[in-house]
Structure 1
Amino acid sequence: MESHVVRVAGTLLLMAGAGRRQKRQRGSIEELPSGSLRVTVYAGIDPVTKRRHYLREVIPPGPSTRKEADKALRRLAGLVDERRNPRTNATVDQLLDRHFELVGLERSTLATYVGYADKHIRPLIGGVQVGALDADLFDSFYAELRRCREHCDRRPYVEHRTKRPHECDARRRPHSCTSLGASTIRQIHFILSGALKRAVRWRWIATNPIVEAEPPPAPKPSPRPPTAQEAAQILAEAWKDPDWGLLVWVAMVTGLRRGELCGIRWRHVDLTGGVLALERSIGQRSAETWEKDTKTHQHRRIALDPQTVDLLREHRQRCAGRAEALGLEPAKDAFVFSLAPDGSTHLLPDSVSQRYGKLAKRLGIQTSIHKPRHYSATELIAAGVDVRTVAGRLGHGGGGTTTLRVYAAWVSESDQRAAAGLFSRMPARPANGARAEQTITEPRHPYEAVAAALRREMEAGSVTVGEQLPAIKNLAEAHGVSAATAQRAVSLLQTWGYVEVLPGRGVRVLYTDPIDTTDHLPDPASSSNGSPLGEHPRRQLFDLVIRHRGTVVARLTTELDRTNAAELREVMSAAVRRSGGDDADIGEYEMELREAGEDELVTTFVAPVSSCR
């Protein structure tokens, strides 16, 4: 068979069988004017542009340029053979366009994601080819988002309230770089992650490069519900308009989202059974509104208390009266909260937020329309309602996982109250006297045996009052125990009142006659109060914290006897009245006792049920 050598684009190729049909060359190596070699491998048709797609790599000039070019040619050809090469030159902008066309998101969520892409993704990495993305690029991208949310060029400039022609006012100010929030950066990460997953599925790229990137950690939830006093102020101000007052009341009682409040129709309210059926919500983006499913796509039924049912019944009569006064009939499927006399239109979620925000601002309270939802959740948890029930009322998914994560602090407080309630119902601990006498006659531990032996020596007259006991080391050797055991024995004798430990001067005998150890063995729960041995001071200075359904309403310090229930109730009752509460509701309060200046909780007092009636 005849063979000959052919040069193709600067590469020597050995061809066999001149008369035989040759297979098309997969790649080429081209010498550039600079002396570099450009390696090119055909990789099929670009699915986006429908044009031929090539993989290219430039090898800089050097002593091993030819060898490196040959290696690059084989490597690129291998990528194509194994289908691990990028199949397109499409950019991130083109990928996002396709992704947003196909992604199945709710309208407001999609609008938010498109806004994030237009504001933060496209200006920074929109022109980068999808195949060129890697973890290093994403880490640099996230660092830029954390540096400045406006992506400035680090040169000073003046920020205006709008880019349109306008008259400058106090809102005109020098630009100051502020970081984009961690939650927003995470959402941008998830937008790109979803788009790149599609790119892998479409075989635009072989692997998802964002898997190796590290978005910022999720921020810890901080609900910050209004306090009981703030909630009372907000409701008192809102009730000046009965319709608006009812909306705020329902928000606090049910914990509904603002869109769910706007979407309630009278057919969803069962005034006879006292149940509210949540099925729909109102979405809004700028001036556009639409009716949609709830956030978690769950239909839920919320039980209503009798007072809320009565308020809704009065509101329905009020709406019917207004329509009748204008000669109208209530709409067939009227909304509960509406500015239209016939209830045919719903409120705008943005308008509800603005009105609530202005109300709170007048009162000097920093809150938003979403905070009554937190108030409802925390009050239910503080009242002892189980987390699954709270999650069901709020519409949280995951069987309460979200509720536990967001309201962990309130669940912890509820658990502490449960522990205190269980302690109050536990049977009384046996008296200490029997155990002390058993220690003397039937010691169970080595240190008890040493203490009993030393006591017998004292009672026998071997050691007299005022004498010094042998050193701890000598006691340990005499009784065949360790120094630590001998030290515990001396401490037990001190507890019984037989000896006195003099720092730096040894142990002095105080008493040698038989004594009743019942009065000298301290209660373990109260042995650290700093009182003289054998004494249990009944009156003590305590720091008190008064809570109403988990919310702190008063803090004070006073001297009292923590074993006197009548005195404790009197102190708590006075504190409740001073904080504006009603003595008749004292059963809803609890009082935490801590020794003055200490952090450790001594006990929690709750008024007996009989005294609350």
Structure 2
Amino acid sequence: MASSKPRRTRGNVTWLPSGSARVSVYGGVDQVTGKQIRLRETVTARATKRETEREADKAVTRLLNQVDERRSPRTETTVNQLIDRWLDVIEVERKTRAGYVGKIEKHIRPTIGRLPVGRVTAETLDTLYARLRRCRDHCHGEKYIQHRTTAEHVCDEHSARRKCAKIVAGDPDATCRWCDRTCRHHVCTPLSAGSVRVVHAILSGAFQRAIRWGWIVTSPVDQVDPPSVPRPNPNPPTAEEAAQIMQAAESDPDWSALIWLTMTTGARRGEICGLRWPDVDLERGVVVFRSSIGQIAGDVWEKDTKTHQHRRVTIDPELVLVLMAHRERCETRAAELDMTVRRDGFVFSPAINGSVQLNPDTVTQRYGRMVKRLGITTHLHCLRHYSATELIAAGVDIRTVAGRLGHAGGGSTTLRTYTAFVLESEQRSAAALASRRPPMQRR
């Protein structure tokens, strides 16, 4: 005899006009936003309502199991502990690791670091990303004074001796060097989409490890969409600006040789600093980039190139003569001090015998000061963009350009980065063809 009691349904089932069922289950309260968490799923209509009801019950059971898993996870490990364990086991380059640690300390630990791993939801991460896109300092909309230092200090540095140039000149747009050093009201600055993607990648890698270790069943990161990839927008110096840069560098022949080599080969700054004399074949006009110099603050070390591959780049005869003259200067300076240039010495070195490499940050800072004096808004890496765009404009195929730059992916990275310049080159090619084509006879 069938029971007269109505069938008890766990969760909330709403019937839609189409005959489908919308299932909703209460999943607790989000620790970050304080809002209720609702897990939802829509069950499409089956042949009969009874079959749809059975599928809805299964959906309710499945969602409740997910809720139970989050409420009573297999581990009480926090996100901080997971991140620490993840950093112990991953294999990444030192500078990449330093970048990860910086993002973790700034954006992950202060926000969700104390939450249990099993209770982090997709909504938690969506809320975190939204806040990062609003303000990188996690101000939560609060107004406060952003101090320039944590040590004891006087916030207002304007004084009788340090008068504000804006007041003295009566011009609110005047530049005052003391204003830049004073504490000021916080102004929200959003975190870039690229940096938010790095935070997303860190969390994705850590939670995937947690699944592999059996700490959780599913990863909330898989249910979150990271910001779209920022479109590359290289801004190389113009031909006129490049000429000004080379002319300004001529006052120091060694510095001029470094700039010339960077501009011609499009090599990264670490590869230029790590270049040794055995890798420069002046007879054949070939330079081989085998290693690079990495630097984090005062810590400097030699490492592989970014793609971990050796790269042969052909150089023009004029650059060969420049490097020959640079080699002769190095040998002359060493002979004056009864020394010799080491066979494996660095091409560009502050040491007479070439035993010490240039620091990449030193090169960047010197280049920055030089272009600032010239009134050109650019930086050292733009010489790499300059080399690529000039090669593309000259009609060199993308694969060859990618090989010279050391781009991985068979040219896909090069094409994605310099698409605008490829299109411009194609337009010039079409115009050049049109100018040489015989005119069409009009009837």
* Residue 217 (str. 1) matches residue 228 (str. 2): yes
What is the CA–CA distance in structure 2 between the aligned matches of 1:120 and 1:411, rounded to whole Å?
38
For the residue of structure 2 that corresponds to 1:219, the secondary structure is coil
After superposition, residues 116-195 of structure 1 pair within 5 angstroms as: 116-166=103-153, 169=157, 170=178, 171-172=181-182, 173-195=184-206
1:32-88 Cα deviation digits (max 9, x unpaired):
xxxxxxxxxxxxxxxxxxxxxxxxxxxxxxxxxxxxxxxxxx989977999997321
Q: Which amino acid aligns with 1:231?
A: A
Is the Cα–Cα contact under 8 Å of residues 70 and 118 in structure 2 kept in the other structure? Answer: no
RMSD: 2.3
Is the Cα–Cα contact under 8 Å of residues 85 and 205 in structure 1 kept in the other structure? Answer: no
Q: Which of 253, 261, 265 is the aligned partner of 2:276?
A: 265
Shift of 1:417: 1.8
What is the CA–CA distance in structure 1 between the aligned matches of 2:415 and 2:121, rounded to whole Å?
36
Residue in 2 aligned with 1:101? 88
Is the Cα–Cα contact under 8 Å of residues 79 and 85 in structure 1 kept in the other structure? Answer: no
Residue in 2 aligned with 1:309? 320
Is the Cα–Cα contact under 8 Å of residues 285 and 317 in structure 2 kept in the other structure? Answer: yes
After superposition, residues 187-206 of structure 1 pair within 5 angstroms as: 187-206=198-217
Q: Which amino acid aligns with 1:321?
A: T
Residue in 1 aligned with 2:17? none
What is the CA–CA distance in structure 2 between the aligned matches of 1:343 and 1:147, rounded to whole Å?
49
Q: 1:426 to 1:156 in 2, by over 3 A?
A: same
What is the CA–CA distance in structure 2 between the aligned matches of 1:410 and 1:80, rounded to whole Å?
52
What is the CA–CA distance in structure 2 between the aligned matches of 1:226 and 1:166, rounded to whole Å?
42
Residue in 1 aligned with 2:432? 421
Shift of 1:212: 1.1
What is the CA–CA distance in structure 1 between the aligned matches of 2:371 and 2:387, rounded to whole Å?
17
For the residue of structure 2 that corresponds to 1:256, the secondary structure is coil
For the residue of structure 1 that corresponds to 2:411, the secondary structure is helix
After superposition, residues 36-435 of structure 1 pair within 5 angstroms as: 86-166=73-153, 169=157, 170=178, 171-172=181-182, 173-426=184-437, 428-432=439-443
Shift of 1:218: 1.2
What is the CA–CA distance in structure 2 between the aligned matches of 1:323 and 1:242, rounded to whole Å?
16
Q: Which amino acid aligns with 1:422?
A: L
What is the CA–CA distance in structure 2 between the aligned matches of 1:82 and 1:189, rounded to whole Å?
23
Is the Cα–Cα contact under 8 Å of residues 277 and 343 in structure 2 kept in the other structure? Answer: no
What is the CA–CA distance in structure 1 between the aligned matches of 2:214 and 2:435, rounded to whole Å?
66
Q: Which amino acid aligns with 2:292?
A: S
Q: 1:95 to 1:301 in 2, by over 3 A?
A: same
Shift of 1:211: 1.0
Shift of 1:203: 1.3
Give aligned pairs, total.
360
Shift of 1:409: 0.9
What is the CA–CA distance in structure 1 between the aligned matches of 2:198 and 2:65, rounded to whole Å?
36
What is the CA–CA distance in structure 1 between the aligned matches of 2:388 and 2:370, rounded to whole Å?
22
What is the CA–CA distance in structure 1 between the aligned matches of 2:328 and 2:106, rounded to whole Å?
49
What is the CA–CA distance in structure 1 between the aligned matches of 2:214 and 2:205, rounded to whole Å?
14
What is the CA–CA distance in structure 2 between the aligned matches of 1:293 and 1:361, rounded to whole Å?
32
Q: Comparing both chains, which one has the higher relative contact order based on Cα–Cα distances under 8 Å and sequence gaps of 6 or more?
A: 2
What is the CA–CA distance in structure 2 between the aligned matches of 1:75 and 1:298, rounded to whole Å?
49
Is the Cα–Cα contact under 8 Å of residues 71 and 118 in structure 2 kept in the other structure? Answer: no
Which structure would you say has the larger Rg? 1
Q: 1:84 to 1:134 in 2, by over 3 A?
A: closer
Identify the range of structure 1 (416-425 vs 177-186) with the bigger mean alpha-carbon deviation. 416-425
What is the CA–CA distance in structure 2 between the aligned matches of 1:334 and 1:167, rounded to whole Å?
50
Q: Which amino acid aligns with 2:113?
A: G
What is the CA–CA distance in structure 1 between the aligned matches of 2:353 and 2:284, rounded to whole Å?
25
Give 5+ residue unaligned stretches, structure 2.
1-60, 158-177
Q: 1:381 to 1:79 in 2, by over 3 A?
A: closer
Shift of 1:164: 3.2
1:302-354 Cα deviation digits (max 9, x unpaired):
00000000000000000011111112121231000011111110011111111
Q: Which amino acid aligns with 2:101?
A: V
Give 5+ residue unaligned stretches, structure 1.
1-73, 433-613
Q: 1:336 to 1:81 in 2, by over 3 A?
A: same
What is the CA–CA distance in structure 1 between the aligned matches of 2:405 and 2:428, rounded to whole Å?
23
Q: 1:425 to 1:363 in 2, by over 3 A?
A: closer
For the residue of structure 2 that corresponds to 1:290, the secondary structure is strand
Is the Cα–Cα contact under 8 Å of residues 84 and 206 in structure 1 kept in the other structure? Answer: no
The structure that is strand-richer by fraction is 1
